[in-house]
A and B are shown apart, each in its own frame.
Chain A
Amino acid sequence: MDPLKHLTQKQIDYCMECGLCTGSCPVSRELSNFSPRQMIKQVLLDLESDLMNGREIWACLSCAACSERCPVEIDFPEFISARRQQARDAGNVPQESHHGVLQTIAGLQTREVNQQRTYWAREAGVFADTGDVFYFVGCLPFFDVTFRYLNLSPLDTARSVLTLLNKMGVEPVISDHERCCGHDALWCGDHSTFRRLAELNLEVIRSSGAKTVVFSCPEGYVTFKKYYPQHVGELPFEVLHMTEFLSRELPNAGVSFQSSSNRTVTYHDPCRLGRLAGVYDPPRQLLESLPDTVLVEMERNRQYALCCGTSAWMECSSCSKAIQVERIEEAGQTGAQTLITACPKCQIHLSCARSAMDSDIEIIDLYAYLAMRLTTE
């Protein structure tokens, strides 16, 4: 038996058909044909052709709301990921959003390309070519160009991170040769692109001499932490999410923040950072450490948080929109003026949905928010 098939088969064999997954699934609420329970059963009974040929396989957000609750701990995202590779090989491909530009960019990065990934950093602060700490910027420079139409500037995240790091006395490595982490390729079932990108990234980091790699993007973080070791072996460096790094280092770094008048904020847990990586407290600790900031929780928070509605730049649909609207309304119900996100994609997706809504909640990236509140000397 194919070992991958065996692995996922073993997982889904645990199913006792209780239906908790489907009941938990944000997609099932919108797409009546989408049912994790049915998909598992189909594969169990070797009736995979429906699944392999249908669109449902691409509709899963891999948000892990189902596996979080599954009483027998079936890793549904893992199951879907393995099936997607088979579906893609069989010619069933997802509907790429934004005309596939982001997939194309990722694909280009598997080749020898000359990137200008650090132009922004030269204005924003101080960085190095080699050193102990590597800041993995991820796709922010590309997003910055792609999502101007939403009046967003995703690179502000990277700028804020660099400012914060510099304030703490850290001059991180930032590299022009960095590649896309491969997260989207992995979840689109394109494992060969994923592996190539991973190998290139490891080379870049190795040559920088870094002992610690920090990520502001939850996707990059979880991809390195969880999926790189599975596909390319143990990593020779420490992997930290920026919120972990900051909540560990900031208190002793002599950095202070100023108060701002009456700021009530709520925090949206990204699936990748929360359910997939288990990081819930550090971002909250950072927000709570700010003077005069009140953090109010949404009804669904931490492991119960609702997904932002789209993943891996595919299958964006009315279903995504409905989920996003639901999430923004939930944020509004807390009474907070600001919705803090810690993932560039969450920020992009929620901002996009809000633009068509009658909501005055501000959506701000966590690092931009922190940088904004730095004490000005």
Chain B
Amino acid sequence: MTQKTRLTAQAEKTGSVTVIGSGIAGIQAALDVASSGFRVHLVEEKANVGGVMAQLDKTFPTNDCSSCMMGPKIAKLATHPDIEILAYTDVLGLNGEPGRFQVTLKKKARAVDPQKCVACNICAEKCPQKVPDPFNMHLQPRKAIYIPYPQAVPLVYTIDKEHCIYFKKGKCRVCEKVCNNKAILFDQEDEIITLETGALILAGGLELFDARRKQEYGYGRWPNVITSLQYERMLSAAGPFRGRIQRLSDGQRPGRIAWIQCVGSRDSHLGNDYCSSVCCMSATKQAMITREHSLDIDTTIFFIDMRAHGKGFDRFYERSASDNTVRYVRSLISRVVPNPEDDSLCITYCEPDRSLRDETYDMVVLSVGLCPNPSTVQLAKVIGVPLNEQGFIASQPLDIVATAKPGVYVCGGAQGPKDIPDSVQQGSSAAAQATAVLADSRGSLVAVPRSLPQRDVSAEAPSIGVFVCHCGVNIAGVVDVEAVADFARKLSNVTYATHCMFACSTDQLREMQQAISDHQLNRVVVASCTPRTHEPIFRKTLQEAGLNPYLFELANIREHDSWVHQAEPEAATQKAKELVRMSVSRARLLEPLYEGSYEVVQSALVIGGGLAGLSAALSFAQQGFEATLVERTAELGGNARTLAYTEDGSSPARYVQDLIEEVENQPLITVCKEAQVTSTVGSCGDFTSQIADKNGSRSISHGVVVVATGGQEYKPTEYLYGRHPRVVTQKEFEDLLQAAPEKAKQLQHVTMIQCVGSREPEFLYCSRVCCTAAVKNSLQLKTINPDAQISVLYRDIRTFGFKETAYLQARRQGVRFYRFELDRKPEVTRHADTLLVSVFDAQLQTTVQLPSDLVVLSAAIRPRPESRELAETLRLPLDEDGFFMEAHPKLRPLDFAAPGFFLCGLAQGPKFADESISQARGAVSRALAVLSRKKIATDSMINRVDAQLCRACGECEKACCFEAIKVKQVDSGRQQAVVTAAQCTGCGVCNVACPTGAASLAHYKDEQINRMIED
């Protein structure tokens, strides 16, 4: 399909990156690297790619289906011409130097020929040996020859030699007998290969804590105690119980489920003193989904501190408690006691009022912590990459994707426990760092795509194929998909109709191509889910089968039907039929469309000169691209200038000074201070912006925009701030500690109040950094004056991940922590020269008086007020808190929905300095997919003007928001509306404005829509 060419005769460095591990972080890194002009070798120790995310049911805080989100990414991975997937492969060693490594791999023998296996499943069906299934967390057995799930990539079976009867006892060979394709190769041998590669990205992910180590919870002994990942498989529609929540003891639906948090996390006793970061939200999500499944299941979460520190998490948590009535109890559980009569489980917990309560549950879910993956640990030892105290790969302060070994980077769970968006942005960041050192070799090893021939169907009568998707039980659980397929078969021009488990799976796509060729189809209708995520895959499938990709139509019978009509299956089936009928009607009239292309302006505009903006600009330059950096104030550096130190011993303030110097001396970067972007027009790859400063306005061209406008500390109005000199913000306190340690030394009693301006009804978000800031500044004061009495008044301590160790340290140094509830906030009153803080301690249930020399307010992080104006100028969305809104909080945290626009740093939401730097580089990595191309194909679904009908009235020009249509003199000499293809988004506004019907949107012509309604 593709042919490899070496564009440069002899590149100095190898233009490829080897990514080890194929969870979501590794996948993101691989896709980014491959999209920016490098070859990728993606190595996975397991038989198939996907990692933990592939095992999840839904993801917080949007409750999107995990496999539905991952499906398109994996499909893209599987079909990317520049990605070589080396699954079932171990890394044996690494030689050479950065830019020119040799990595030695062992391709383990699957005992199956990947060229011949068509994944028909006959071997697994007939295999007599049942073995535990790790993908389904042992809830159900699988066979000794297996794929983990039907959509697995690569879609090749593997023999589990540890359990295979033939490999153990020398007889059986049933699979060999039943395989029609002779794909079983019992004597297949491991293969050792060596690859030349420029850089390495470690993305080996995590392992779950072994819950059996917490014997008191009875995991492994009592059937109804399960782990959080087992529960995830239970919830999954594609899981062993098809989404039915049930007790393992008797298959009955539980009436009451308890979650126990911190199982194997925050536990020095077990040697795991860190927080696993994700379990609070994951349990919240699971309880919420459980309540959505059935309101008659009671859900209770037992926890220490609710850690909802990510974007949108606090709203999610509040919603779970209010709308879904998930119950939260702040107490850890000492023991789970089984009742042998009905296998129910008794839990004792202590109430805030100190009494103990016993409660009985039908099922207990242990929120197990995240631990280092032993194979990553082993690999790190082999290739000489040091680990941190907790056993994860040690990364560099403020450069969290860099390991101590040059040319070797790390991302995702291998670096520390983290959630999906953090893994994704680290994946992108690692991609940027790995390719920066190889920039000169960009394009040297990539495949040149062959242009695919397209069948001319203009003379053919419509011949439509209809594919109705089960989407596991997402659709088929409600809609009678067989009946829909039967119905479709009878519609005129439908030549072929079928139904399938997952229309988007690689095997099914292959079948679709086969059907196109077998039945000479010239239009395809898929009845499945939303075109937003899945249309591109199906279009590509048509293209590969020799059809124009626009001869495709998607009927959304999931979001528009099965998900919203769960209670009425018959009516839902009827609606599905109608939707399919409409799509078939439209499909008859679909026309092939052809894309144009335009040149990419290979430079970037970065807005904001703080840590994130500076890092982004420098990263563009390191990749060999020009960047213009626009800063509103007279000075670069932003908030980082006052961040003197961090809890892990780095100094953002010093770092940013060096960064400024580097940026200002970098010839590829143009810095504009006291400047503002006043307009941006154009489209992805070809923008023109006006930049105004005191000398006037000028225009620049650029291919991408990175928004890094930052945030600022909230100026409190509460707790006497601004009215008493001894009330300061955390940032002001940090300045004092830094600038006047002698003065700080005089402080004997310091009281800190957390969540000032955060987690309030009108600002329902966590500012993420303040708990760590309070801990860090407390420790700093203790260093200056060990006798200082520091009290921290908090609601939940959110020192997630390794930051927990700083919290532990603070407690050990005698910093005191008092928890208060939102409805009984602390009070600060004047007390002679000093202050008196009174707080109602939620645990003691008494009021405590704290005389204080200084009150420090952990004030919220707010978006910058100018971001609203900029959002309007750039036509970019803000979220409900005023931060810029990414395309998708989970899988596209660094992209805007509008192509060519990217975001990073505090502009996107509260975060730490190292995270801002990492995000900035990640955003650059995302932008490189645009900048590293010479040309961009234009959208074909744009407005077309019928020259005959256009009377040049200019209504369209007035209506267009994108300056994409203008009345001009055309070659014939007359005036006519003309569309700039690169700028037209196909929104259709001009169609409505046009009084004559001259403007019409390709692919959405009136006739194409009308037939859907009228037929």
Chain A residues close to B by CB (< 8 Å)? 9-10, 13-24, 28-29, 32-33, 35, 37-38, 41-42, 44-45, 47, 69-73, 304
- B contact residues, range: 35 or more
Chain B residues close to A by CB (< 8 Å)? 215-216, 262, 266-269, 304-305, 330-335, 348-350, 354-356, 797, 807-808, 811-819, 841, 843-844, 846, 848
Residue in B closest to A9 when the chains form the complex, CB atoms: B814
Residue in A closest to B815 when the chains form the complex, CB atoms: A13
Contact B841 A41, beta carbon cutoff 8 Å: yes
Contact B354 A38, beta carbon cutoff 8 Å: yes
Known: A23-B356, A33-B354. A18 touches B332 (CB 8 A): yes
Residue in A closest to B846 when the chains form the complex, CB atoms: A47
A–B pairs, 23, beta carbons within 8 Å: A10-B812, A13-B813, A14-B811, A16-B266, A17-B304, A18-B262, A18-B331, A19-B330, A19-B350, A21-B334, A23-B333, A29-B348, A33-B354, A35-B350, A37-B843, A42-B844, A45-B844, A45-B848, A47-B846, A69-B269, A71-B332, A72-B268, A72-B811
Q: Which residues of A contact B333 (CB under 8 A)?
A: 20, 23
Q: Kindly state the separation between the CA atoms of A18 and B303 in the bound complex, as whole angstroms.
A: 8
Q: Which residues of A contact B216 (CB under 8 A)?
A: 69, 304
Contact B844 A32, beta carbon cutoff 8 Å: no
Q: Which residues of A contact B808 (CB under 8 A)?
A: 14, 72
Q: Kindly state the separation between the CA atoms of A33 and B331 in the bound complex, as whole angstroms.
A: 17
Known: A28-B350, A45-B816, A304-B216. A22 touches B356 (CB 8 A): yes
Q: Kindly state the separation between the CA atoms of A20 and B304 in the bound complex, as whole angstroms.
A: 10
Residue in B closest to A38 when the chains form the complex, CB atoms: B354
Q: Which residues of A contact B262 (CB under 8 A)?
A: 18, 71
Residue in A closest to B350 when the chains form the complex, CB atoms: A22
Q: Kindly state the separation between the CA atoms of A38 and B352 in the bound complex, as whole angstroms.
A: 9
Q: Kindly state the separation between the CA atoms of A22 and B349 in the bound complex, as whole angstroms.
A: 8
Residue in A closest to B352 when the chains form the complex, CB atoms: A19
Contact A23 B349, beta carbon cutoff 8 Å: yes
Residue in B closest to A32 when the chains form the complex, CB atoms: B355
Contact B811 A29, beta carbon cutoff 8 Å: no
Residue in A closest to B797 when the chains form the complex, CB atoms: A16
A208 CB, min distance to chain B CBs, angstroms: 40
Q: Which 9 A-B pairs have the closest CB atoms?
A: A24-B334, A23-B334, A19-B331, A22-B350, A35-B354, A18-B332, A71-B267, A18-B304, A20-B332
Q: Kindly state the separation between the CA atoms of A10 and B808 in the bound complex, as whole angstroms.
A: 12
Contact of B844 (CB < 8 Å), options: A19, A38, A73, A304: A38
Residue in A closest to B265 when the chains form the complex, CB atoms: A71
Q: Which residues of B contact A19 (CB under 8 A)?
A: 330-332, 349-350
Q: Kindly state the separation between the CA atoms of A23 and B335 in the bound complex, as whole angstroms.
A: 8
Contact of A70 (CB < 8 Å), options: B269, B330, B811, B816: B269
Known: A13-B812, A19-B330, A23-B348. A71 touches B354 (CB 8 A): no
A39 CB, min distance to chain B CBs, angstroms: 10
Contact B350 A15, beta carbon cutoff 8 Å: no
Given contacts A21-B334, A71-B262, 7 further A-B contacts (CB under 8 A): A10-B814, A20-B334, A23-B335, A38-B354, A69-B216, A71-B332, A72-B811
Contact B269 A73, beta carbon cutoff 8 Å: yes
Q: Which residues of B contact A16 (CB under 8 A)?
A: 266, 304-305, 797, 807, 811, 817
Q: Kindly state the separation between the CA atoms of A10 and B782 in the bound complex, as whole angstroms.
A: 14
Contact A41 B811, beta carbon cutoff 8 Å: no
Q: Which residues of A contact B811 (CB under 8 A)?
A: 13-16, 72
Q: Which residues of A contact B815 (CB under 8 A)?
A: 13
A345 CB, min distance to chain B CBs, angstroms: 24
Contact B269 A38, beta carbon cutoff 8 Å: no
Contact A71 B268, beta carbon cutoff 8 Å: yes
Known: A14-B811, A19-B349. A71 touches B841 (CB 8 A): no
Q: Which residues of A contact B816 (CB under 8 A)?
A: 13, 44-45
Residue in A closest to B850 when the chains form the complex, CB atoms: A45
Q: Which residues of A contact B846 (CB under 8 A)?
A: 47
Residue in A closest to B818 when the chains form the complex, CB atoms: A45
Contact A47 B844, beta carbon cutoff 8 Å: yes
Contact B215 A304, beta carbon cutoff 8 Å: yes
Q: Kindly state the separation between the CA atoms of A16 and B268 in the bound complex, as whole angstroms.
A: 12
Q: Kindly state the separation between the CA atoms of A22 and B268 in the bound complex, as whole angstroms.
A: 18
Contact A22 B354, beta carbon cutoff 8 Å: yes
Contact B356 A41, beta carbon cutoff 8 Å: no
Q: Which residues of A contact B348 (CB under 8 A)?
A: 23, 29
Q: Kindly state the separation between the CA atoms of A29 and B334 in the bound complex, as whole angstroms.
A: 12
A27 CB, min distance to chain B CBs, angstroms: 10
Q: Which residues of A contact B841 (CB under 8 A)?
A: 41, 45
Q: Kindly state the separation between the CA atoms of A70 and B267 in the bound complex, as whole angstroms.
A: 8
Residue in A closest to B272 when the chains form the complex, CB atoms: A71
Q: Which residues of B contact A22 (CB under 8 A)?
A: 350, 354, 356
Residue in B closest to A33 when the chains form the complex, CB atoms: B354
Q: Kindly state the separation between the CA atoms of A35 and B355 in the bound complex, as whole angstroms.
A: 8
Residue in A closest to B348 when the chains form the complex, CB atoms: A23
Q: Which residues of B contact A38 (CB under 8 A)?
A: 354, 843-844
Q: Which residues of A contact B215 (CB under 8 A)?
A: 304
Q: Kindly state the separation between the CA atoms of A19 and B335 in the bound complex, as whole angstroms.
A: 12
B857 CB, min distance to chain A CBs, angstroms: 21
Contact B350 A23, beta carbon cutoff 8 Å: yes
Residue in A closest to B331 when the chains form the complex, CB atoms: A19
B778 CB, min distance to chain A CBs, angstroms: 12
Residue in B closest to A22 when the chains form the complex, CB atoms: B350
Residue in A closest to B842 when the chains form the complex, CB atoms: A17
B214 CB, min distance to chain A CBs, angstroms: 9
Residue in A closest to B218 when the chains form the complex, CB atoms: A299
User: For A16, A19, A304, which residue has the most chain B Cβ atoms within 10 angstroms?
Assistant: A19
Q: Which residues of A contact B334 (CB under 8 A)?
A: 20-21, 23-24, 69
Contact of A17 (CB < 8 Å), options: B267, B335, B843, B848: B843
Q: Which residues of A contact B305 (CB under 8 A)?
A: 16
Residue in B closest to A12 when the chains form the complex, CB atoms: B811
Q: Kindly state the separation between the CA atoms of A280 and B961 in the bound complex, as whole angstroms.
A: 77
Contact B332 A41, beta carbon cutoff 8 Å: no
Q: Kindly state the separation between the CA atoms of A366 and B216 in the bound complex, as whole angstroms.
A: 27
Q: Which residues of B contact A41 (CB under 8 A)?
A: 841, 843-844
B373 CB, min distance to chain A CBs, angstroms: 23
B569 CB, min distance to chain A CBs, angstroms: 45
B585 CB, min distance to chain A CBs, angstroms: 62
A133 CB, min distance to chain B CBs, angstroms: 36
Q: Which residues of B contact A18 (CB under 8 A)?
A: 262, 304, 331-332
A212 CB, min distance to chain B CBs, angstroms: 32
Contact A73 B331, beta carbon cutoff 8 Å: no
Q: Which residues of A contact B304 (CB under 8 A)?
A: 16-18
Known: A23-B350, A35-B354. A73 touches B268 (CB 8 A): yes
A320 CB, min distance to chain B CBs, angstroms: 17
Q: Kindly state the separation between the CA atoms of A17 and B348 in the bound complex, as whole angstroms.
A: 16
A180 CB, min distance to chain B CBs, angstroms: 33
Known: A47-B846, A69-B216. A13 touches B266 (CB 8 A): no
Residue in A closest to B804 when the chains form the complex, CB atoms: A16
Q: Kindly state the separation between the CA atoms of A29 and B354 in the bound complex, as whole angstroms.
A: 11
Q: Which residues of A contact B814 (CB under 8 A)?
A: 9-10, 13
B609 CB, min distance to chain A CBs, angstroms: 40
Q: Kindly state the separation between the CA atoms of A42 and B841 in the bound complex, as whole angstroms.
A: 11
Q: Which residues of A contact B812 (CB under 8 A)?
A: 10, 13-14
